[in-house]
């Protein structure tokens, strides 16, 4: 018997949008029906869309709450709850918190509080303090000398679902354009031209010494544990060939059309950022997510550093000009990312899946989250 029926809604199913209702029981979707329901106590969604809860594979949002301003370190459990509240309000019911192992800088929040962030979110999860389902994505900076030692401390964490292989050494991948790198570091870290020039030299030395052996070791560890791997900022045919050889399953933020097309052709799921898609261009001067969507090379959307950009991107893709309908756009933020990290129990409105759901109304062209359910329980 259904515990709850969500009625009078536009259901975004795998291949179509239909007017109907959904019955929930035991935290799962018990039944999906067309037309109105006659069940007593049904919840009237007033004709709004009902989407599967969004699945986020890569968000840096937690860091913004751990250090809301430079030099301000916030208590971890409070930061985790603030982060989670923003995630849930954006319609995200499953989130892989992207925590950096190693860093492009020798200090800063990613180095100083990395372990605390991982343990803090895990504790908040265990205590039932969070609305969304929080899992872990470890972003591994391969030029870091002690990367493998750091990674080894958390590789067997039960929440770990994705590992990405990163190399942010200036002059390649994300920052082929060094002028953009200068602009970014001046703005974000307040570094002078001389400091940035010295930084470039030091990072190049580290890359030449550590990147190749660390990548080889990291890939092998993940293979042994059957952990999904993602590449990061691939730009060239050589980068993609390396990713394919390493058994990568997700190509995060490829920086060129060539790399995205090759990755997609090899069966890697291409992931791009919502902020790039909403703005129409990359802040680093790299390829536009919209351009990849036009060419059919986009598989997964990530909110990256703006949680609300995930849902906004879904509706932006479905506006019509790209030839992408709403079910296909929704899949890029739900079913496809879930499948990529072996979460087959969620991401689609169909019988037996988790009752992770999202009520949306479009107002003045903007999708507005009106309610969120996680395993049948309303959390926002």
Cα–Cα dist 296/313, whole Å: 15
Closest CA to 310 of 87, 41, 74: 87
Q: Between β-strands 133-141 and 160-166, what pairing exists: parallel, antiparallel or unpaired?
A: parallel
Residues 195, 129: contact at Cβ < 8 Å? Answer: no
pTM: 0.91
Cα–Cα dist 252/233, whole Å: 6
Let me know the angle formed at the C-alpha of 219 by 213 and 225, rounded to the nearest 5 degrees.
Answer: 140
- DSSP H/E element including 229: strand 229-232
Cα–Cα dist 108/67, whole Å: 10
**Phi–psi pair at 351, nearest 5 degrees:** -55, 135
Cα–Cα dist 219/156, whole Å: 15
Cα–Cα dist 110/112, whole Å: 6
Residues 240, 266: contact at Cβ < 8 Å? Answer: yes
Residues 232, 243: contact at Cβ < 8 Å? Answer: no
Coil, strand or helix at 54: strand
The two tokens of residue 313 are 């991107």
The two tokens of residue 48 are 């709004």
Q: Please enumerate in sequence order all residues whose Cβ is within 8 A of that of 121, keeping only pairs 6 or more positions apart, or say none.
A: 62, 80, 97, 130, 134, 136
Q: Which residue has the tokens 């035991």?
A: 26
CA 69 to chain centre: 23
**Phi–psi pair at 183, nearest 5 degrees:** -60, -45
Closest CA to 142 of 105, 101, 182, 184: 101
The two tokens of residue 69 are 């301003």
Cα–Cα dist 237/118, whole Å: 34
Cα–Cα dist 121/137, whole Å: 12
The two tokens of residue 339 are 């499948």
**Phi–psi pair at 258, nearest 5 degrees:** -55, -50
Domains of the chain: 1-51+347-380 (2.30.40.10), 54-345 (3.20.20.140)
Per-position pLDDT tens, the chain of length 380? 679 999 999 999 999 999 999 999 999 999 999 999 999 999 999 999 999 999 999 998 998 999 888 788 999 999 999 999 999 999 999 999 999 998 665 555 566 688 899 999 999 999 999 999 999 999 999 998 899 999 999 999 999 999 999 987 665 566 655 565 555 665 556 667 777 666 666 777 777 788 899 999 999 999 999 999 999 999 999 999 999 999 999 999 999 999 999 999 999 999 999 999 999 888 767 899 999 999 999 999 999 999 999 999 999 999 988 999 999 999 999 999 999 999 999 999 999 999 999 999 999 999 999 999 999 999 99
């Amino acid at each position: 018997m259904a515990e709850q029926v969500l009625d009078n809604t536009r259901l975004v199913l795998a291949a179509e949008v239909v007017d109907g209702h959904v019955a929930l029981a035991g935290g799962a979707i018990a039944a999906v029906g067309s037309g109105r329901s006659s069940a007593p106590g049904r919840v009237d969604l007033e004709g709004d869309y009902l989407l599967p809860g969004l699945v986020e594979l890569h968000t840096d949002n937690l860091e913004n709450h751990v250090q809301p301003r430079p030099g301000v370190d916030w208590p971890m459990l409070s930061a985790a709850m603030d982060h989670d509240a923003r995630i849930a309000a954006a319609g995200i019911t499953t989130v892989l918190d992207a925590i950096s192992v190693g860093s492009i800088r020798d200090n800063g929040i990613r180095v100083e509080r990395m372990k605390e962030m991982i343990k803090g979110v895990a504790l908040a999860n265990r205590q039932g303090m969070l609305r969304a389902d929080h899992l872990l994505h470890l972003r591994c900076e391969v030029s870091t000398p002690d990367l493998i030692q750091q990674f080894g401390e958390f590789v067997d964490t039960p929440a770990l679902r994705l590992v990405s292989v990163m190399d942010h050494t200036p002059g390649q991948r994300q920052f082929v354009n060094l002028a953009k790198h200068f602009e970014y570091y001046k703005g974000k870290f307040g570094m002078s031209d001389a400091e940035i020039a010295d930084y470039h030299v030091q990072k190049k030395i580290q890359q030449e010494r550590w990147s190749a052996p660390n990548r080889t070791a990291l890939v092998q560890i993940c293979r042994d544990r059957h952990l999904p791997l993602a590449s990061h900022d691939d730009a060239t045919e050589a980068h993609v060939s390396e990713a394919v050889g390493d058994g990568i399953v997700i190509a995060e933020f490829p920086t060129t059309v060539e790399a995205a097309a090759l990755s997609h052709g090899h069966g890697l799921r291409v992931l791009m950022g919502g902020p790039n898609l909403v703005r129409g261009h990359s802040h680093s001067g790299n390829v536009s997510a919209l351009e990849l969507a036009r060419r059919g090379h986009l598989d997964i959307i990530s909110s990256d550093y703006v949680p609300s950009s995930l849902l906004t991107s879904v509706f932006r893709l479905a506006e019509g000009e790209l030839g992408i309908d709403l079910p296909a756009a929704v899949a890029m933020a739900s079913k496809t990312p879930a499948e990529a990290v072996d979460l087959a129990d969620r991401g689609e409105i169909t019988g037996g899946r988790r009752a992770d759901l999202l009520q949306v109304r479009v107002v003045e062209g903007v999708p507005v989250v009106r309610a969120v359910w996680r395993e049948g329980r309303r959390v926002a």
